[in-house]
Amino acid sequence: MGILSNGRPLNWSEIQSVKTIFKNHALNDLILILNKHKKTHNDAFLWSDEIEYSLIRFNHENKRVQLCSKADEILKRFQQLNNDKTISELSQIIFHVEDCNFVIEGIPSKPYHSHPNNYYYVQSNMIL
């Protein structure tokens, strides 16, 4: 969805009140992109994937599961994973906050190419 650069993540009731607006903006953006590139041919096929990670807190003693609304704190820990110099560039993941404070998004640091070897990175990048 993109990096939240201004403001704060929305809570559940705030999301519900504007979800139709978000859907309309997303569809309009898609149409604009398709129209802009409809005459493009023979470009390299680059692709990527994004994963939305829901942050969950388990309380095994009381047998409770709750959404964990600490995306900012957890995000700092995940961002340190890319500091490991032994990880190849295609295996590095960029994490950022989503539109709510209990979800973070992970995307590859570089787009994949059409070579079949790139497919192996997708599954390994999904594992935390």
- 47 inside domain: yes
- 26 inside domain: yes
What tens digit of pLDDT does each residue of 32-80 get?
Answer: 998 998 888 888 878 888 888 889 999 999 999 999 888 888 888 877 7
- 3 inside domain: no
Range of the domain at 84: 12-126
Q: Who wins on pLDDT, 79 or 19?
A: 19
CA angle 21, 68, 77 (to 5 degrees): 100
Measuring CA to CA, which residue among 51, 125, 49, 127 is closest to residue 89?
A: 125
Q: What is the mean pLDDT of the chain?
A: 82
DSSP H helical segments within the chain, as ranges?
12-37, 71-79, 119-126
CB of 100 closer than 8 Å to CB of 15: yes
CA atoms within 13 A on the CB side of 69: 8
Looking at residue 9, what is its pLDDT?
79
Q: At 24, is the pLDDT very low, low, confident or very high (cuts 50, 70, 90)? A: very high
Looking at residue 28, what is its pLDDT?
95
- 6 inside domain: no
In this predicted structure, the answer to whether residue 27 has a pLDDT above a threshold of 70 is yes
What tens digit of pLDDT does each residue of 109-123 get?
Answer: 888 887 888 777 777
Report the predicted TM-score, pTM, of the whole model to 2 decimal places: 0.56
Number of domains observed in the structure of the chain: 1
